[in-house]
Amino acid sequence: MRIYIYTGGEKLVSKSGVGQAIRHQQEMLRRAGVDTTEHWTADTAAVHVNTVLPDSLLAVLAARIRGRKVVYYGHSTMQDFRSSFKGSDLLAPLFCKWIKFCYGLGDVVLTPTEYSRKLLESYGNRVRCVEDFADVLGEFAACQPQLVLMDIKLPYRDGYYWCSRIREISAVPVVFLSSASDNMNIVMALNMGGDDFIAKPVDPMVLTAKVQAVLRRTYEITGAGQTVEFCGATLSLGDGCLHTEKGRVELTKNEFRILQLLLENRGKIVSREELMMRLWQSDLYVEENTLTVNVARLRKKLEEGGLEGVILTKPGRGYIIL
């Protein structure tokens, strides 16, 4: 087996961090006993792409034609692009779309985890990275985190699987962070128990703001011991759980917030915009499907607790609990 390390544009990146990364990959694979090549051979198993230059797409296309895997290294970010030359700030949004397209072509996208970790730690968070991807649940149980950042494409099993396993033992918020950000993957992530979805590449300021917002919404639930009764059920404002005749129903923080806002306005229509503002503080970075999926999940849990038809949809207007 050989790994094709694509070196297109080598002269442009040879003296940069990307060039150094390519050399490190070659050395790492050599020490692991894996042969590398700079051109396609019959036993080439995958191609490693380190740049987002237009000619790198040729290597990706060649891999697809041959049925080989593509590993993209996410060295480039919009934050790095900004202020890199005169006029780069104006081009940054276009660059963001371009690298998002490029990274979306990879079967696996490897990102600078250490960079993300230091970025989050700089905002006062304690961060632990998974080391054994064959036992993500075990590391989760040992760490007992207050929030999980989860990618979709992981070694051994995907993020959907691990999110569903986490949901079996915990209601801790799970935020998906992935370049596979088409609507189908977003809906799947939320259906499997995710609380939010952030598309990569993402501006570091947006990432940290999103993480802080989720933590704030989840752990600033006040009024321990207070309850709200409706339709024969009781919503506990202290622990965010619902108690019905069929037993205790665990709600995610988004499901709790939706139900709480609807009960606060019982008998009144609550618009989608109001719900999105309550959940995400701003609807600027939220897909419409995200709210729809959260409401659908809440309805399903209410039905399982014997509360069918509690949340009514008013087409074009919003939702209401009578």
Q: Residue 72: what residue type? A: Y
CB 5 within 8 A of CB 24: no
Model pLDDT, residue 144: 78
Model pLDDT, residue 320: 93
Our measurement of the distance from residue 67's CA atom to the centroid of its chain's CA atoms, rounded to an integer in Å, reads: 27
Q: 3-state class of 243 per DSSP?
A: strand
Give dist(CA 222, CA 278) in Å, integer.
15
Model pLDDT, residue 319: 93
Give dist(CA 76, CA 54) in Å, integer.
14
Model pLDDT, residue 120: 63
Structure tokens belonging to residue 280: 């995400």
- Which residues in the chain show pLDDT less than 70? 10, 15-17, 77-80, 82-84, 110-125, 201, 203-205, 219-225, 280-288
Write the CB contacts of 305 (distance below 8 Å, at least 6 apart in sequence): 233, 242, 244, 245, 246, 247, 249
Among 155, 201, 199, 193, which residue's Cα sits nearest to residue 171?
193
Per-residue HEC secondary structure of 176-207 comes to EEECCCCHHHHHHHHHCCCCEEEECCCCHHHH
Q: Provide the 8-state DSSP code for 46.
A: E
Q: Provide the 8-state DSSP code for 107.
A: S
Q: Give residue-wise pLDDT tens across range 250-305.
A: 888 888 889 988 988 888 899 888 888 777 654 444 566 778 888 999 999 999 88
Model pLDDT, residue 294: 87
Q: At what angle are helices 253-264 and 288-304 packed, to 10 degrees?
A: 80
Model pLDDT, residue 283: 40
Q: What is the pTM of this model?
A: 0.44
Model pLDDT, residue 275: 85
Model pLDDT, residue 117: 65
Among 159, 154, 55, which residue's Cα sits nearest to residue 110?
154
Q: What is the largest CA-CA distance in the chain?
A: 71
Give dist(CA 37, CA 196) in Å, integer.
40
Q: 3-state class of 58 per DSSP?
A: helix
Among 126, 182, 303, which residue's Cα sits nearest to residue 231?
303
Structure tokens belonging to residue 215: 């933590």
Give dist(CA 53, CA 36) in Å, integer.
21
